[in-house]
Amino acid sequence: MGSETVQVASLSNIVLTWVSGSPEQVVFLAASLIGLAILLKRDRIL
């Protein structure tokens, strides 16, 4: 679980630098993060 948290943290750093781009990127990014959160929650339940 620890390494996953590090991956998410580094991913969010990449996201923050990337978000300064176009609105389409921001929307795509938001969808990706929501999907990632759902996957992580599902893993914890299982």
Residues 6 or more apart whose Cβ sits within 8 Å of residue 18: 25, 29
The reported pLDDT for the residue numbered 19 is: 65
The dihedrals phi and psi of 24, each to the nearest 5 degrees, come to -60, -40
Token digits of residue 44: 């914890």
| Mean pLDDT over each residue of the chain, to the nearest integer | 77
The reported pLDDT for the residue numbered 12 is: 77
Residues 6 or more apart whose Cβ sits within 8 Å of residue 33: 12, 15
Range of the domain at 15: 2-45
Is residue 33 predicted with pLDDT exceeding 80?
yes
Q: How many domains does the chain have?
A: 1
- In this prediction, residues 10-38 reach a mean pLDDT of 78
The reported pLDDT for the residue numbered 21 is: 66
DSSP state of 16: H
C-alpha distance from residue 45 to each of 5, 16, 20 (Å): 16, 28, 34
Is residue 4 predicted with pLDDT exceeding 80?
no
The reported pLDDT for the residue numbered 26 is: 75
